[in-house]
Structure 1
């Protein structure tokens, strides 16, 4: 299981979950070389997700950090 942050730019659904990695539709990278991946959302569009276990010992997972993650997802989103 992986700890992942998921956010859909289309329906704005946000979640932190411990689960298997979802099926990947396409991917990108954040500023630290961590992959930003995209999977199909329930709304019919795609949501972006990152494995946040990498960040746990580097920063607190708070609203400001989640905002950073949403910016990375939005940057690589194909709409």
Structure 2
């Protein structure tokens, strides 16, 4: 049997070393950067949804006009 069989040191990954500011409860700049990135992403998603809705409403309003014109012919 191996000698180090019961030695589980290092199992489960490594912990990040905290700065003094983080130890005292202040958030790191990394957290602020993630928040800014998330805000930008949400804004982009909102704009994309608005454009998609505008396109679908434009095609939906154009379709009944075509159907109405072809039904009368």
Same fold per superposition (TM over 0.5): no
- Hey, which of these two has a bigger chunk of helix by percent? 2
TM-score normalized by the length of structure 2: 0.23
Q: Which has the higher contact order (CA 8 A, sep 6+)?
A: 1
Q: Which has the higher strand share?
A: 1
